[in-house]
């Protein structure tokens, strides 16, 4: 396990990479003894640096929840990251100005009406605490060279967070969130599809996992926050000029054009 100064140094390195749109060698390659606990402290340092520049937390995200994403990245357990106000965009998203090696994923976003704090949060608690659910694109990114990540690398790098966009929200009451199917089109052509159960068996289970995991760190999911529940489809590399649309019957659509 690393000491406080080493964790701060890693966080500062990733913050510089974020701001300069640069990549760094995998932390696990250079520091094989780095632990997941170290990595979460690094992620917190990265957030502290962003907050010092005027950003604020608007929610949290769950990463690496579905089998296709786990297989693609070679990371076989979920993680979490922080969402800030500067990460949320509307239909036009300037990835060429902000991201390095972006990949888009379609998922279901939650907006909470009540606080959730583990331990002991159940999927039923999540449903009762949810104001609206939304079709969402998260565009993940990595400051780690060539996406050569292990779980410690992605955790330290704020769960490989990038930017996100959400469609209009609806009440989750009466929606079978395990069975809903998202269909994704890229540049007008069918790209992929996936079901809600791809996210740890259910998006509700995914959010409950997040609430309980954050509870171990004394952190709550707050009323009004956005929670991104994890990709339902494989990650798709994107570039300026691409356009994507995700449709989830019963929930709605979301569109994004990358600039």
pLDDT tens, residue by residue, 167-214: 999 999 999 999 999 999 999 999 999 999 998 899 999 999 999 988
What mean pLDDT do residues 150-164 have? 95
Report the number of distinct structural domains present in the chain. Answer: 1
What mean pLDDT do residues 153-158 have? 95
Q: If you average pLDDT over every residue of the chain, what do you get?
A: 94
Nearest to 202 by CA among 107, 128, 118: 107
pLDDT at site 75: 54
4 occurs within a structural domain: no
Q: What is the pTM of this model?
A: 0.94
Q: What residue has token string 């786990």?
A: 70
10 occurs within a structural domain: no
Cα–Cα dist 1/168, whole Å: 44
What mean pLDDT do residues 46-61 have? 98
Nearest to 184 by CA among 252, 248, 90: 248
Task: Give the C-alpha distances (Å, rounded to integers) separating 259 from 83, 98, 142, 169.
Answer: 21, 10, 18, 25
* Confidence band, pLDDT 50/70/90 cuts, at residue 42: very high
Query: 258: Cβ–Cβ under 8 A, 6 or more apart, which residues?
Result: 93, 94, 95, 96, 102, 139, 238, 239, 240, 241, 242, 243, 244
pLDDT at site 216: 87
The 10s digit of each residue's pLDDT in 212-233 is 988 988 999 999 999 999 999 9
Read off the tokens for 91: 């239909």
97 occurs within a structural domain: yes
* Confidence band, pLDDT 50/70/90 cuts, at residue 38: very high
What mean pLDDT do residues 42-70 have? 87
31 occurs within a structural domain: no
CATH number, domain containing residue 158: 3.90.850.10
Q: Is the pLDDT of residue 2 over 60?
A: yes
Least confident of 10-14, 32-36, 54-58, 70-74: 70-74
41 occurs within a structural domain: no
What mean pLDDT do residues 37-63 have? 95
- Domain range spanning residue 84? 57-258
The 10s digit of each residue's pLDDT in 59-100 is 999 976 556 555 655 655 678 999 999 999 999 999 999 999
43 occurs within a structural domain: no
pLDDT at site 158: 96
45 occurs within a structural domain: no
40 occurs within a structural domain: no
């Amino acid at each position: 396990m690393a000491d406080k100064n080493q964790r701060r140094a890693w966080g500062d390195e990733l913050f510089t990479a974020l701001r300069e749109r640069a990549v760094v060698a995998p932390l696990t390659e250079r520091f094989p003894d780095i632990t997941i606990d170290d990595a979460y402290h690094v992620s917190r340092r990265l957030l502290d640096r962003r907050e010092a520049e005027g950003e604020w937390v608007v929610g949290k995200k769950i990463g690496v929840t579905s089998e296709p994403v786990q297989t693609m990245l070679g990371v076989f357990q979920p993680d979490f990251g922080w969402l800030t106000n500067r990460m949320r965009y509307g239909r036009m998203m300037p990835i060429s100005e902000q991201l390095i090696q972006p990949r888009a994923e379609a998922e279901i976003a939650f907006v909470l009406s009540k606080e959730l704090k583990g331990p002991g949060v159940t999927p039923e608690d999540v449903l009762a605490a949810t104001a609206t659910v939304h079709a969402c694109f998260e565009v993940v990114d990595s400051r780690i060279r060539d996406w050569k990540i292990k779980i410690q690398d992605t955790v330290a790098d704020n769960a490989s967070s990038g930017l996100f966009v959400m469609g209009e929200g609806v009440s989750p009451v009466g929606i079978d969130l395990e069975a809903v199917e998202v269909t994704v089109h890229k540049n007008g052509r069918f790209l992929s599809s996936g079901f809600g159960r791809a996210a740890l068996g259910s998006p509700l289970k995914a959010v409950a996992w997040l609430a309980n995991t954050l509870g171990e760190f004394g952190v709550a999911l707050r009323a009004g926050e956005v929670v991104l529940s994890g990709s339902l489809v494989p990650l798709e590399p994107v570039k300026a000029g691409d356009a994507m649309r995700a449709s989830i019957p019963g929930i709605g659509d979301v569109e994004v054009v990358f600039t």
